[in-house]
Amino acid sequence: MARPLIRWVHKRLIEAYGRPEWEIREEPLAELIVTVLSQHTSDINCDRAFASLRASFESWEAVRDAALPAVQEAIRCGGLAAVKAPRIQAILRALTDNAGQVALPRPIERAFLLTLPGVGKKTASCVLLFGARLPAIPVDTHVHRVALRTGMAPPKTSADLTCDILEAALPPDAYYAFHVNLIRHGREVCRAQRPRCDQCVLRDRCLYVRADR
């Protein structure tokens, strides 16, 4: 039942926002660290923390081997440094090869990323989509909210299961545009507070709008 709706949503969002060009934000390892830093903070604070981390250490090996307080201080502007710093170091240790170098194995696979400390499905999907140019649909708060409100995923469906539902409904070459457009729609129209339902291109088939009426 959800598959036709998901494809309809994808089509409507393309009509409204266009088809964004697939862009790589960072190389895969950097994207992994950025995504960890992005948890529970704004994009601005995340960018500041990442820039500070790169400026403070000459390599990922240096971040791995640094004293924990030094890493915490470098990313403090991003928030939750006491949680994120040890997580980043644990990830870098897990990615250290026999030569002592930090690297992601190739090809990069979501199953492997999920074995890393503190890495969940959304983080792994971001690394694939934005770092490795591999198809995945990260389900963040915006994507999850729109999916539940429109009925693309059943009520109370987890973010991880929502990811599975969305990916099963679309061809892989549609994942990037679908994800980026859903993010935009969630930020600008289907907001958590005071959604702009009167401006929504999905309102004709939205369960949230029907319930409100």
Give catalytic residues, as residue numbers.
122
User: Are 160 and 139 contacting, i.e. CB atoms less than 8 angstroms apart?
Assistant: yes
User: What tokens appear for 55 in the block?
Assistant: 């400026």
Distance CA 179, CA 187 (A): 12
Long-range Cβ contact pairs of 12-16 (< 8 A, separation 24 or more)? 12/201, 12/202, 13/177, 13/178, 13/181, 13/182, 13/185, 13/201, 13/202, 14/177, 14/181, 15/201, 16/181, 16/185, 16/201
DSSP state of 118: T
Q: Which pair of structure tokens corresponds to residue 199?
A: 């401006």
In sign, the C-alpha dihedral spanning 60, 21, 186, 151 is negative
